[in-house]
Amino acid sequence: MSDAIQRWQKVVAAQPTNDLARFSLAKALFDAERLAEAKEHLIAALDKKPDWMVVQILLGKCHLQLGDRTAAREAFAKAHQLAIAQHHEGPQAEMEQALAELE
């Protein structure tokens, strides 16, 4: 198990309401290709903060790598709307490209 995963697991265990720590754990799990576990933490983060665009994007990437193109498309579409609403041009363009590739 990577040091980053262990470090963030300890923080989340000690501070279960620390959303940034949960996201950091999810990202470490994603990077380690432990996608199902990463997805669980991303969903938990979005349950608390549904407008967290970066989490929505990473959730879409998890779905895509897990082979669920429909769920990936839905996550990317939500992330695209969030990017527009939050005026994030880079992520907006990234989601437009991701959605086009899923057509």
For the chain, helix, strand, coil in percent to 5 are 80, 0, 20
pLDDT tens digits, 15-70: 999 999 999 999 999 999 999 999 999 999 999 999 999 999 999 999 999 999 99
Q: Confirm if 84 and 92 have CB atoms less than 8 A apart.
A: yes
Domains in the chain: ranges and CATH: 3-102 (1.25.40.10)
What pLDDT score does 2 carry?
82
pTM of the model: 0.94
Angle between helices 19-31 and 3-14 (to 10 degrees): 160
What pLDDT score does 11 carry?
96
Q: Is the pLDDT of residue 91 over 90?
A: yes
